Amino acid sequence: MMWSHPDFDDHEAVHFFTDPASGLRAIIAIHSTHRGPSSGGVRFWHYAREADALTDALRLSRGMSYKNAMAGLPVGGGKGVILSDGSPKTQAQLLAFGAAIESVGGRYVTAEDVGMSEADMTTIAQATRHVSGLPVAAGKAGGDPGPVTALGVYLGIKAAVAEGLGRDDLSGVHIAIQGVGSVGGGTARRLAADGARLTLADANGDKAQALAQELGARAVGADEIMTVAADVFSPNALGAILNEQSIPHLAAGIVAGGANNQLATPADAQRLQARGVLYAPDYVINAGGIINVATEYFGLGDRADVEARVSEIPARLHAIWAESKASGVPAADVADAMARALIGRG
């Protein structure tokens, strides 16, 4: 039963869509509309098991509720997942997904996530108006949310270094980055410009090596990055990488990155704290993209307004760490409590 799924968290709705003509199989999970229509990107991904797609949709939509609330946005949390069979996505599938979004009556607004692009959003927009992340003119809010997410992660890492190392600069600070796509790569370039020493890894080893050569960094295998003896570990790929097996081998004293759902289970927050690791809750540090998307969709301002809102991320992190230090409660749990109160579930 859906209600007994371990990641079901009183989601308002979970929709399953099948379109035989295009081959679309998709899930739209709506966690909360307490603050406004649910908002969150759609990812196109090949899952080893169909059940993993449902788990992803449930976890990611809940994370979007928390992320949007903590960012002060007038939206709730939702997420879309398009299941890939290993073949490239087609225009017909994207149009069918747009029709699926339209069928839920404005309760879900989509944007880019893993495996999706601005061009894909343009195609989806042919079938529904409930889409953001569309190409925009210079200076306008919107477009690919990845670079804005990277800005927030960069600012969050600087805040974590100040909190955990007592330093107000990044010169010589060793940062191990897992995933060098739009977010991880953008973050790496900003960190390198500040003089940080970088070690990079990606599932695509050639991609990591190319960026390492560009930035004067070092590249290691994807299976090595978490055990690199660094000041900061920055996860910017897929989630659930901090777990009972990996945390004991983590060699960094700070974890701050843009990946969603970094903790495999709630108990992993306590495991990080027990090891003395300073943790930046993922949905707080990686809120830049959704700030960009919501600002575009609701007409809340221009790119300068987006960057002003993203610049507030460090203050939110410092408030969470201060409460965690005062209460002894792990930072992830402090953030969850704050977020749940903001969506009426405190």
Q: What is the DSSP letter of 45?
A: E
Check residue 244 and report its DSSP letter: T
Q: Kindly tell me the burial class for residue 45, based on how many C-beta atoms sit within 10 Å of its own C-beta (0-12, 13-18, 19 or more).
A: middle
Residue 67 a catalytic site member = no
Q: For 225, which DSSP code?
A: G
Judge whether 215 and 194 are in contact, CB under 8 Å.
Answer: no
Q: Are strands 38-39 and 76-83 parallel, antiparallel or unpaired?
A: parallel
Q: Which of 67, 79, 89, 207 is catalytic?
A: 79
In terms of residues, how long is the chain?
Answer: 346
Can you tell me which residue has the tokens 């989509």? 110
Largest CA distance in the chain: 58
From residue 237, how far is each of 33, 42, 109, 167, 259 by CA, in Å?
27, 15, 23, 26, 5
Instruction: Give the span between the Cα atoms of 51 and 64, in whole angstroms.
Output: 20
Q: Where are the beta strands (DSSP E) in 117-239?
A: 174-178, 197-201, 218-219, 232-235
Measure Cα distances from 105 to 100, 130, 268, 293 in Å.
10, 9, 37, 19
Spatial contact of 284 and 346, defined as CB atoms under 8 Å apart: no
Tokens matching residue 242 = 């901090």
Contact of 95 with 126, CB cutoff 8 Å = yes
Tokens 């990606």 -> residue: 202
Q: Which residues are catalytic?
A: 79
